[in-house]
Structure 1
Amino acid sequence: MTTSCIRTLFILVFILSAQLVLSQESFLFYLQPQLALNYNVTSSYSHNFTLSSRNFIYREDKFKLEGRNFDISHFSNFKTGVNTSFGAGLMYRFRKLFDNTRTNELRFTQQLNTTSRPMVVRYGHRWRTEQRFFPDVTVHRFRYRFTLDFPLEGEKVDINEAYLILNTEALLSVASSRGAQYDQRFTAALGWLLEEKVQLQAGLEYRLEDYTRNTHPVLFLNSSLILSL
């Protein structure tokens, strides 16, 4: 399948998704750009620094661009094998900048990641635990993500070539005096290797939040510029 066909498919999926979710009263649509910097300290130890902004595009049955939160995060990764790594990180989410009635969040994350590539397609499994600290409650979240990614031309991604990323993630959130919350996420993104250490990614993420009790559909238009040192 050529890159042009993939792009056309993305446009069709976007239109169909928008028609489906805009008809739901509780639907939210976000724009989420991100800037990431990867830095390899050694061959088995690396850092990741990320700045991310989440903005409303559609809510309360109308389109409008409005900031929701701004995130600063750091992650350290340790390779324990050819296809295995574990990591730990922290994030601070600024919410009060955009809404005085909301509180900021401090988050700690731990993860285990494994990958395999028997042929052209790479398979990835990621397990995460998170502790989300708010002034009035601490939320513990458990996550599992399965990912496929592969080049759209040839057997590997060369400069100025594209690749496709598909993943789904299941989440469970628990907190004292609150019932368990189950979420599911689905993501499709196109990536381009612009230069040897510069990547650009853009895609859609569809979330079903709290789907066992009161489902909230959420759509994200994501973009990432990834720089590696």
Structure 2
Amino acid sequence: MRKFFLLILFSTAPLFVYAQSQTDWIWNPEVSYSWKASDRVAYNTKLSVFNNLGELGNRTALSFLEPQFVMSYSVSTRLKLGGGYYYRWSEPLRDGYRYEHRLLQQVGYVSYIGDRRLAHRLRLEQRIRSSSYQNRLRYRLSYDFPLQGERLDPGERYIILKNEIMTAFNAAEADAENRVSVGLGWFINRSYKFELNAQYRTQDIFSGNGITHLFLAGTSFYFNR
């Protein structure tokens, strides 16, 4: 447990270089449910909620509400193709848009360093908002390992490290963002797991208005069938 808190400290240390007024603090609880239709086809539904911790008690504390649906097809034990849809809603939305439909296409690939697993994900998104359209390209690398032994068994904990880079672009604008996170998970059994994570985002890298910063604390519960 001490190692986990040290990881959080080092991954979020850049936040404290900036004044709190320049940084958003978000709590992101989510629930995910996955099931297999066959040996190769699987589905996932997820509900994510984004709350601005600096405005708890206010009507605008709810930043976003996102229901999601994704289907994946296993080409092999290491390679997956997928596609899906999710909807972003809030009243009002932080960026001024009333709603956002998002289509996604993705490729996932698993590689190994010894017995340790590296998961790669390349995703293309089309963001259809109430008054604009934007494409976004995302690449995420994640690395997880058990805290006890070489294999993760029911009832044990694990560490998961992630970094995601992305660029958003359309005819009128282009931007980039980086997200680094560290999480502690509990593998309850093959059907359930729970994760706590801390994420630091640098946003608006190419906007010309200065980089913005966001700290996100997440709680995730996963159901698998």
**How far, CA to CA, are the matches of 2:143 and 2:178 in structure 1?**
17
1:203 to 197, 202, 208: 197
1:120 to partner: Cα distance: 2.7
Q: What residue in structure 2 maps to residue 225 of structure 1?
A: 221
Q: What residue in structure 2 maps to residue 113 of structure 1?
A: 108
**How far, CA to CA, are the matches of 2:48 and 2:97 in structure 1?**
18
Q: What residue in structure 2 maps to residue 181 of structure 1?
A: 175
Rate the CA distance shift 1:143–1:11 in 2: closer, same or farther, 3 A.
Answer: closer
Find out whether 1:8 has 2:2 as its counterpart.
Answer: no
Q: What residue in structure 2 maps to residue 93 of structure 1?
A: 88
- Describe how 1:63-78 pairs up with structure 2 within 5 A: 64=56, 66-78=61-73
**How far, CA to CA, are the matches of 2:46 and 2:147 in structure 1?**
27
* 8 A contact 1:130–1:141 mirrored in 2: yes
Name the stretch that deviates more: 168-177 or 29-38: 168-177
1:24 to partner: Cα distance: 4.7
Please state whether the residue corresponding to 2:6 is helix, strand or coil. helix
1:217 to partner: Cα distance: 0.5
Q: Structure 2: 5+ residue runs without aligned partners?
A: none
Q: Structure 1: 5+ residue runs without aligned partners?
A: none
Q: What residue in structure 2 maps to residue 191 of structure 1?
A: 185
Q: Deviations over 1:125-184 (max 9, x none)?
A: 111000000121110000111111111111111111111111111111012222x10111
Q: Which runs of 4+ in 1 moved over 6 A?
A: none
Q: What residue in structure 2 maps to residue 139 of structure 1?
A: 134
Q: What residue in structure 1 maps to residue 166 of structure 2?
A: 171
Q: Quick one: which amino acid aligns to residue 191 of structure 1? A: G
Q: What residue in structure 2 maps to residue 36 of structure 1?
A: 32
Name the stretch that deviates more: 144-153 or 8-17: 8-17
**How far, CA to CA, are the matches of 2:168 and 2:12 in structure 1?**
31
* 8 A contact 2:12–2:199 mirrored in 1: no
Q: Quick one: which amino acid aligns to residue 205 of structure 2? A: Y
Name the structure, 1 or 2, with higher relative contact order (CA <8 Å, separation 6+). Answer: 2
- Describe how 1:45-64 pairs up with structure 2 within 5 A: 45-58=41-54, 64=56
Rate the CA distance shift 1:73–1:15 in 2: closer, same or farther, 3 A.
Answer: closer
- Given the two structures, how large is their TM-score scaled by the length of structure 2? 0.90
Q: Deviations over 1:35-71 (max 9, x none)?
A: 000111111110000011000013xxxx635211111
> Sequence identity, in percent?
23
- Given the two structures, how large is their TM-score scaled by the length of structure 1? 0.89
RMSD: 2.1
Rate the CA distance shift 1:176–1:57 in 2: closer, same or farther, 3 A.
Answer: same
Q: Quick one: which amino acid aligns to residue 39 of structure 2? A: S
1:98 to partner: Cα distance: 6.7
* 8 A contact 1:144–1:170 mirrored in 2: yes
